Amino acid sequence: MDHDVVMPMNSATDSDTVCTKQEGWTLEDVGKIIPVRVTPNGSYRNEPVVHVHCQMCTAEFIGPAREAGGFLGGHECLHAWELAQMMGRSDGLVE
């Protein structure tokens, strides 16, 4: 009878850890896993929903890890560009 043992399925726990949303993530989804997310760029599987913020400005992002990386990288690029613009300006004032 040992191999007839059925693991108890706890659906409440499941909805606590799995996020089936494909868009519109909120703080309540942070920490959950998106089992499958299909995009034109590829199919993402078992991705966590994360909440990140830019360290240079006050922007925040909630969504799949892949998009969070794009958000952080995008802000990093923009702020680096802004910095380069400022450096360029002050360089022009130095004789």
Where does this chain touch Zn ion (CB under 5 A) — which range of 4-12, 21-29, 33-41, 67-75? 67-75
- Shorter beta-carbon distance to Zn ion: residue 21 or 79: 79
**Cα separation values, 22 from 26, 38, 40, 42, 94, Å:** 12, 8, 13, 14, 52
Which residue(s) pair with 62 in the sheet?
51
- Asked if residue 72 binds Zn ion (CB under 5 A), the reply is no
- Count of residues engaged in binding Zn ion, rule: CB under 5 A: 5
Contacts of Zn ion in 6-35 (CB under 5 A):
none
